[in-house]
A and B are shown apart, each in its own frame.
Chain A
Amino acid sequence: GAGVSQSPSNKVTEKGKDVELRCDPISGHTALYWYRQSLGQGLEFLIYFQGNSAPDKSGLPSDRFSAERTGGSVSTLTIQRTQQEDSAVYLCASSYRGGPETQYFGPGTRLLVL
């Protein structure tokens, strides 16, 4: 079946602009995660959605970052007033129940802020 998909694959923007990154999880997966991967670094947790529960936003680095998950499926990560330090690969992952199980990653969106 189809895996996790993300769009766009690459995004170049100017400092101060807003960007929206999209994630389509695997059908039937109730848990969805966003991570950020800076060059040569590990994966930094950003936000976690599980079913209809309130999202865990504890990893968002600033109030310029927000995310939504509509209808329990597609998620959008929004970065307002982008800064150069926001440049990174943004990875989305989904899992079946949000428990101790495999998280399936999407291909990522490579964001470059000029």
Chain B
Amino acid sequence: GENVEQHPSTLSVQEGDSAVIKCTYSDSASNYFPWYKQELGKRPQLIIDIRSNVGEKKDQRIAVTLNKTAKHFSLHITETQPEDSAVYFCAASGRSGTYKYIFGTGTRLKVLA
């Protein structure tokens, strides 16, 4: 069935360093890949997304890369700040172009001051 694997489950970095979170997906029909940030006790919020016709997308300190052949996509956060500490979820769109996202299990990022 459809599956999204996310690694690592936890990640600690020093403030100012970069953080990378990786996801793999199983359904070759997936064509949309959003990333959500969920702060403690709050709702998930979209931080960046990428479509399958694009290999990379950047938004200030955040970037996402997509390798369709390998079915990998990654989130890159540069110059991390304490407020980046949260749980990050990747997701892939479902089969046949449906948009019931299949979510990864999340990465708890801690940025140490």
- A residues near B (Cβ < 8 Å) are 31, 33, 35, 40-45, 48, 56, 58-59, 91, 95, 98-103, 105-108
B105 touching A41 by the CB < 8 A rule? yes
Count of B interface residues, CB-CB < 8 Å: 25
With the chains together, A95 CA to B103 CA distance in Å? Answer: 16
Interface residues as binary, B57-80 with A (CB distance below 8 Å gives 1, 0 otherwise): 000000000000000000000000
Q: Is B44 an interface residue (CB 8 A)?
A: yes
Chain A contact residues: helix, strand, loop or mixed: loop
Q: Is B20 an interface residue (CB 8 A)?
A: no
Q: Is B89 an interface residue (CB 8 A)?
A: yes
- B residues near A (Cβ < 8 Å) are 6, 31-32, 34, 36, 42-46, 49, 51, 89, 91, 93-94, 98-106
Cβ-neighbour of B34 out of A35, A59, A102, A108 (below 8 A):
A102
A48 touching B49 by the CB < 8 A rule? no
A42 touching B98 by the CB < 8 A rule? no
Known interface pairs A41-B105, A41-B106, A100-B32; A105-B45 also in contact (CB < 8 Å): yes
A45 touching B102 by the CB < 8 A rule? yes
Query: What are the residues of chain A within 8 A of B94 when measuring CB–CB?
Result: 45
With the chains together, A45 CA to B95 CA distance in Å? Answer: 13
A43 touching B103 by the CB < 8 A rule? yes
